[in-house]
Chain A
């Protein structure tokens, strides 16, 4: 293993980190919000929309990320062109985030749904009986109890998201993985081991960070469980 080579490519790889982090953070937040909405619609069984959401989540969960990227980046413009709107001015990052949010939201909604259902009905009633609105009930009482159940799995989803940004290299956005591919290609694959060791370290570091965030939230929300 060539340590010097590792030292050389380390900064190059690190340079891609801001883009990766930016996409992860924005996607995680938007994806979570989307998931909440989708979960709410499906649990409320709003006719038609609820069935559409079923289709959406099943499609997004079952098909490869490559297809989502292609659908959003190449498919959406065709769709919009058909109704006379050109959306090709939208940036690649935005397209990418859109694709990832759609994907992430579907998965997270299937984490939130069972976690939500695990909160006993008596807790809903307790909140309702003191006169809380539906919204207040969920924010103050139910959601805090959903989180300790969902957080470990949300941690999985977050780390998956970190790794899924590599899909964006398909349409030329260079994240850590993309940069790694570039280095491997430029060195004709001779230094694959070194590149992998380096990105393993970077990814590991990032996911430890994400884990700490999750652990912190878990500690905060799970106090009552003892």
Chain B
């Protein structure tokens, strides 16, 4: 086995080009996921009738079915739908002109919302009900209480899971390749095909992924430490 470091470094440079784009998309998806996931979790915790049953089915479907199937479904319905919708309001757009980035965003955000709803629900189970009462007793509205007391405390639990999710999305974006968005792994594969150096390329990709993770960890750990201030351990 002859390992070529030169090729590996060159590949790292190529692969790095995909990082900002991949990261940005992933972050966007996570944010949307947390937002909607939060709403879903709220409905579940409150056990809003009917709505929470619908939500349950939605979550179990979206979570359960492989991403590739979701992509396939969205890819084969969203552009068509959008095209006929636009036509109805007088715009002309061929289905295949539909921006693939939107397909990625829509599909992944749905999935992420389902996943985050469960993470958030778990985090909320860790809240001491007396903390909620303390907030109410000084006259907080539910929303103020949520923002000032509950979310900061739940965040200490949820944050590492959000990082888990972000890392997963960054990787799962390699599937988004199916709809033509190039991510880190795809970039590495092209490099490998050209150089015929597979090992070097994969290791390069791994290092880049790991590097991103390292940076994220520094940021997330900082926030987590802050959130844990004064916590009971």
Measured between beta carbons, the chain A residues less than 8 angstroms from B214 are 58
**CB proximity of A168 to chain B, nearest CB, Å:** 14
Q: Complex: how many Å from CA A160 to CA B13?
A: 31
B65 nearest in chain A by CB position: A200
Q: Is the CB of A159 within 8 A of B63?
A: yes
Inter-subunit contact B212/A117 (CB<8 Å): no
Task: Name A's interface SS.
Answer: helix
Least CB distance from A65 to B in Å reads 8
A48-67 interface bits toward B, Cβ cutoff 8 Å, 1 = contact, 0 = none: 00000000001101111111
B53 proximal to A (CB < 8 A) = no
Choose among B65, B119, B122 the residue with the greatest number of A CB atoms under 10 Å from its CB.
B122
B209 close to A149 (CB less than 8 A):
no
Beta-carbon contact of A61 and B122 below 8 Å? no
Is A107 an interface residue when CB atoms closer than 8 A count as contact? yes
Select one of A66, A117, A118, A204 contacting B64, CB under 8 A: A204
- B123 contacts chain A at the CB level, 8 A cutoff: yes
Q: Given the interface contacts A113-B160, A199-B69, does A62 sit within 8 Å of B210 by beta carbon?
A: yes
Counting CB contacts under 8 A, is B217 at the interface?
yes
Check if A148 is an interface residue, CB within 8 A of chain B.
Answer: yes
Q: How far is the CB of A130 from chain B (nearest CB, A)?
A: 19
Q: In the complex, are the beta carbons of B115 and A118 less than 8 A apart?
A: no
- Check A137 for interface membership: any CB of B closer than 8 A: no
A63 touches B118 (CB 8 A): no
Chain B residues within 8 Å of A162, by CB: 64
Find the B residue at minimum CB distance from A196: B69
Say whether A62 contacts B64, CB under 8 Å. no
Complex interface: chain B residues within 8 A of A102 (CB): none
Given contacts A58-B217, A111-B164, A204-B64, contact A149 B202 (CB under 8 A): no
Please provide the chain B residues from 189 to 225 with a CB less than 8 Å away from any CB of chain A in the complex. Answer: 202, 205-206, 209-210, 212-214, 217, 224
For the side of the interface on B, what is the size category? 35 or more
Q: Are B161 and A110 in contact (CB under 8 A)?
A: yes
A200-B65, A203-B66 in contact; A59/B161 too (CB < 8 A)?
no
Q: Which A residues touch B209, using CB under 8 A?
A: 62-64
Which residues, 136 to 185 on B, are CB-close (under 8 Å) to A? Answer: 156-161, 163-164, 167-168, 170-171, 174, 185
Check B69–A118 contact: CB distance below 8 A.
no
In contact, B63 and A156 (Cβ under 8 angstroms)? yes
Q: How far is the CA of A114 from the CA of B126 in the complex (A)?
A: 10
- Among the listed A107, A118, A121, A208, which residue makes an inter-chain contact with B164, where contact means beta carbons less than 8 Å apart? A107
How long is the Cα–Cα vector from A194 to B68 in the complex, in angstroms?
14
* Nearest-CB residue, chain B, relative to A145: B126
Q: Is there contact, CB below 8 Å, between A120 and B128?
A: yes
B9 at the binding interface (Cβ < 8 Å) = no
Question: Given the known A-B contacts A61-B164, A67-B205, A70-B202, are A204 and B233 also in contact in the complex, defined by CB atoms under 8 Å?
Answer: no
- Nearest Cβ in chain B — how far from A34, in angstroms? 16
Query: Quick one: which of B65, B168, B185 contacts A66, CB cutoff 8 A?
Result: B185
Chain A neighbourhood of B73, CB < 8 A: 196
Chain B residues with CB below 8 A from A199, complex form: 66, 69
> With contacts A62-B167, A111-B160, A207-B65 known, what are 7 further pairs, Cβ within 8 A?
A63-B205, A64-B171, A67-B205, A117-B228, A155-B118, A177-B66, A206-B64
Taking Cβ atoms with an 8 Å cutoff, the residues of B that contact A are 1, 60-61, 63-69, 72-73, 76, 115, 118-119, 121-123, 125-126, 128, 156-161, 163-164, 167-168, 170-171, 174, 185, 202, 205-206, 209-210, 212-214, 217, 224, 228, 231-233
